[in-house]
Amino acid sequence: MDAGKLFRLDGRVALITGASSGLGERFAETAAANGAAVVLVARRKERLEALKAKIEKAGGRALVAPADVTDRKAMVAAFDAAEKAFGTVDLLVANAGIARVTKIVDMTESGWREVLDTNLDAVLFWSREAAKRMIAARKPGAIITISSIAGFTVAYGLSSYHVAKAAVVQVTKALALEVARKGIRVNTIAPGYIVTEINRDYLGSKDGQALQGSIPLGRFGAPSDLDGAFLLLASDAGRLMTGSTIIVDGGLMLMVGG
């Protein structure tokens, strides 16, 4: 088997949420570089336009579909625009996410809801929309959610993030079970620390540097360190995988309790 061909995404239509920076931007570029037409979703339109231009310059196909992932009307519009431009989305990457630091005793209801709406509810509803449209079009496909090793651990002040990411693992498994017979695979990637806008300040701080020292493979990741896991789950290479969680963390989870 030619490894190059096994991981290709030719003819696929990929919609990536949170494509304006970090991991989402990288997933979009990787999908496009491997043959998929990509639909770029986030709120920052100028960033998406710049990414579209970069992808097209490299020979790929891209569409900008600005949306807040918590807005269901904007969600339907993004899928409609994708369908009109390229056909049914058969690869969803539910990636958009935020982190807010507040201890539970200081938490407001709106603060809690903001993180859960973005990191959990949106993952569920965008995945549901993608699955419904694939089923209606009788098209097999793949859904990739982005959880985190934070779904398995807790740290001070990040309860809403931890709870949402743990729930994303369960949403992934529940949906995987329900749509498997329709030829739709649903898996999650649980990254460790990957340097992006969500954590750059913290990881660059003294505490962050100490944390880096405790990672068995010795470093934080770059978005490109997820290319392999992403292409495995997106492509035919992962054809018998569904409901799986792939941890990509430099071995950090091995240190829990160690």
Q: Does 54 bind ligand NAD (CB under 6 A)?
A: no
Judged by beta carbon, residue 11 or residue 224, the one nearer ligand NAD is: 224
Q: Does 95 bind ligand NAD (CB under 6 A)?
A: yes
d(CA 161, CA 15): 23
Stretch that binds ligand NAD, among 3-11, 57-65, 68-76, 250-258 (CB under 6 A): 68-76
Judged by beta carbon, residue 36 or residue 65, the one nearer ligand NAD is: 65
d(CA 26, CA 251): 22
Judged by beta carbon, residue 146 or residue 167, the one nearer ligand NAD is: 146
Q: Are 62 and 56 contacting, i.e. CB atoms less than 8 angstroms apart? A: yes
d(CA 140, CA 183): 5
Q: What's the one-letter identity of residue 88?
A: T
Residue 37's SS3 state is strand
* Alpha-carbon torsion angle 46, 229, 226, 249, nearest 10: 140
Binding mask 17-46 toward ligand NAD (x if CB under 6 A, else -) reads xx-xxxxx-----------------xxx--
Q: Are 211 and 228 contacting, i.e. CB atoms less than 8 angstroms apart? A: no
Stretch that binds ligand NAD, among 126-134, 191-199, 231-239, 250-258 (CB under 6 A): 191-199
Site for ligand NAD in 234-253 (CB under 6 A): none
Positions annotated as catalytic residues are: 161
Phi, psi angle pair for 130, to nearest 5°: -60, -45
- For ligand NAD, which residue of 33, 77, 98, 137 counts as binding (CB under 6 A)? 98
Q: How far is the CB of 103 from ligand NAD (least distance, A)?
A: 19
